[in-house]
Structure 1
Amino acid sequence: MEVSGTSAPTVTVFISSSLNSFRSEKRYSRSLTIAEFKCKLELVVGSPASCMELELYGADDQFYSKLDQEDALLGSYPVDDGCRIHVIDHSGVRLGEYEDVSKVEKYEISPEAYERRQNTVRSFMKRSKLGPYNEELRAQQEAEAAQRLSEEEAQASAISVGSRCEVRAPGQSLRRGTVMYVGLTDFKPGYWVGVRYDEPLGKNDGSVNGKRYFECQAKYGAFVKPAAVTVGDFPEEDYGLDEM
């Protein structure tokens, strides 16, 4: 067993336990007695100090010794940076019992009781007229949303299914295709234009989240906002996809 001769006042070790499957990296003073060290480990592994048995392993996970002298100093053992101290619990708790949060009793409060409290975030937001409780701001946001929807509806009304089009979507190259759908959708609010591209540059086959809006091959379909669509006499270009 090779032991480092370092005299640093602290040592960084890994803590493992028979109570759980994870390890914690911690730093401790070498001047702690094993009894004091066990008390600090209570907060790490959840085992009572009186029920702990400690084993020391090297950085290569080779067993060194037991830390079984309560009044001995931690530094009197061959503990070096990177070593692992394994805590064996004798309290009768099963492995993983402290990891199952479904067994933790949770505090619950009814919506009515929460509403009556005066020291909650909700009551503060109401008193300060913040967020959804700012009626003026909410009315303004609703008006802006209605205005955007009205503008989209007007843009969409000028686009007909079957029309040839060019799509200039943000962050994408110019693409040509055929308009296959115009209207509202279930996947996002507002008006959308379904396009069948001339090339496989789309994201779907005309369906989103299991609902079909139009038919096309996979990767040829896409949905874009009406503002990104220009209809006109845009013949399908020859991209040479059929060339040998």
Structure 2
Amino acid sequence: MDNGSQPQLVNLIISTTFNSFHTERRFSTDYTVGQLKRLLEGLTGAQPSSMVLHLFNKDGTAAGAMQSDDVQLGSLNLHNGMTVQVSDPTVRVGEFEDVSKVKKFELSEEEYANRAESLRAFKQRHKMGQFDEKEKELKSESVQKKTSEQQALADAITVGSRCLVTVADQPKKRGVVLFKGSTKFKPGIWVGVKYDEPLGKNDGSVDGHRYFECAPNYGAFVRPDSVQVGDFPEEDFMNDEL
């Protein structure tokens, strides 16, 4: 690279021998090697006094060492894409990548709650999220209303009744109601159905708790609004195939 009166810029890839650090930076060609080392200290953690720089061409072949701190980069025949490899015998390999020795900043729940400029404090001041009492009240009312509606529908369902189950994006299924009420696996009111075909997801038990008895893959739990009780006799699948 020519060393003219106007400094030019050169793109160099910076790597080290002691960690996996790898980045591309642009440097002015009027910098000296000593100035470059001071810049690389902040990037790599190596000390300028013990830092050794080696140049490599784009094809990976060695292009020599940058030995004299007083030499300007413009006189080193640098090209875009060359690599400057930083080594420092005082730095242990992997030293700056071992986070196990980094002291972590931790706050107790009480300390965080007392911080005036935290996200939680901001939400409290502006009544947002969990601190929006009106929103919480509306949400609670909505949940209670939905639960009441599901309970009313469940009250109209009799265990032992034949039923037709309609769930969005699924084929309609016939079966018999064998359970209704609350469960341990999820809040709300559920109806347990034994299907006429093995189109279910369980055998009447979930997470080790049994709600009713049926063969594997014949049982399912659905919301009351998905269940219609009535005259839905078991279909004769064999005759349908004749």
Secondary structure of 1:43 counterpart? helix
1:174-216 CA-partner distances (Å, limit 9, x unpaired): 2315355543344433233455556666566666556565654
Give the deviation of 1:26 after TM superposition: 1.8
Residue 153 of structure 1 aligns with which residue? 151
Query: Which is greater in Rg?
Result: 2
Q: Which amino acid aligns with 1:35?
A: G
Residue 42 of structure 2 aligns with which residue? 43
1:76-116 CA-partner distances (Å, limit 9, x unpaired): 244432x4433223223341x32233322123333334444
Over the matched positions of the two proteins, sequence identity in percent amounts to: 39
> What residue ranges of structure 1 are gaps of 5+ in the alignment?
1-7
Q: 1:108 to 1:59 in 2, by over 3 A?
A: same
CA contact (8 A) 2:18 2:91 kept: no
CA RMSD, 1 decimal? 3.8
Give the deviation of 1:165 after TM superposition: 4.1
| Number of positions where the alignment pairs a residue of Structure 1 with one of Structure 2 | 230
Q: 1:188 to 1:12 in 2, by over 3 A?
A: farther
Q: After alignment, is 206-215 or 49-58 more displaced?
A: 206-215
Q: 1:19 to 1:191 in 2, by over 3 A?
A: farther
**Matches of 1:41 and 1:205, distance apart in 2:** 66
Q: 1:100 to 1:217 in 2, by over 3 A?
A: farther
Q: 1:173 to 1:45 in 2, by over 3 A?
A: same
Query: For 1:133, which of 131, 134, 139 is the aligned residue?
Result: 131
1:10-64 CA-partner distances (Å, limit 9, x unpaired): 3253x3323323x433231251433333333333323233332223334444444
CA contact (8 A) 2:10 2:78 kept: no
> What residue ranges of structure 2 are gaps of 5+ in the alignment?
1-7
Residue 71 of structure 1 aligns with which residue? 70
CA contact (8 A) 2:57 2:63 kept: yes
Query: For 1:173, which of 170, 173, 178 is the aligned residue?
Result: 170
Give the deviation of 1:149 after TM superposition: 1.6
Give the deviation of 1:131 after TM superposition: 2.5
Residue 104 of structure 1 aligns with which residue? 102
Q: Which amino acid aligns with 1:176?
A: K
CA contact (8 A) 1:176 1:234 kept: no
Q: Which amino acid aligns with 1:46?
A: G
**Matches of 1:185 and 1:62, distance apart in 2:** 69
TM-score normalized by structure 2? 0.70
Q: Which amino acid aligns with 2:187?
A: P
CA contact (8 A) 1:166 1:176 kept: yes
Q: How does 1:1-244 map to 2 (within 5 A)?
A: 9-11=9-11, 13=13, 15-21=14-20, 23-31=21-29, 32-74=31-73, 76-81=76-81, 83-95=82-94, 97-160=95-158, 163-170=161-168, 172-178=169-175, 179=177, 181-195=179-193, 216-217=215-216, 222-232=220-230, 233=232, 235-236=234-235, 238=237
